[in-house]
Copies of this chain bind each other. A is one copy, B any other.
Amino acid sequence: MTRADDVHRELRAALLSGTFPYGQRLVEEQLAERFNTSRTPVREALRRLEGDGHVVRDRSGGVRPNAPRVTATRELYAVRTVLEDLAVRTADPEKLEPLQEEWLELRSERDESPDFVYADESFHEAIAHASGNSATERYLHDINERIRVIRIHDFTTVDRIVTTIEEHLEILDALRSGKTDAGAALMRVHIERSAEVVERRVGELLTRMFEEERP
Contact = CB atoms under 8 A, between A and B. Distances in A.
Contact of A135 (B76, B133, B136): B76
Interface centre among A43, A79, A90, A133 (most CB of B within 10 A): A79
Contact of A79 (B47, B52, B135): B135
A66 to B, nearest CB: 13
A72 B133 CA distance: 8
B44 A134 contact: no
A158 interface: no
Nearest to A132: B75
Size class of A's contact patch?
Answer: 20 to 34
A182 interface: no
A78 interface: yes
Interface stretch (A80-88, A94-102, A107-115, A165-173): A80-88
A-side interface mostly:
helix
Interface in A32-67: 43-44, 47-48, 51-52
Nearest to A76: B135
Contacts of A86: 78-79, 82
A39 to B, nearest CB: 11
Contacts of A85: 82
Nearest to A79: B135
B135 A75 contact: yes
B44 A79 contact: no
A82 B44 CA distance: 34
Contacts of A210: none
14 contacts: A44-B44, A44-B47, A47-B48, A51-B52, A72-B134, A78-B133, A79-B83, A79-B86, A79-B133, A79-B135, A79-B136, A82-B83, A82-B86, A83-B83
Given A48-B51, A79-B135, A135-B143, 17 more contacts: A47-B47, A47-B48, A51-B52, A72-B134, A72-B135, A75-B134, A76-B135, A78-B86, A78-B135, A78-B136, A79-B83, A79-B133, A79-B136, A79-B139, A82-B82, A83-B83, A139-B139
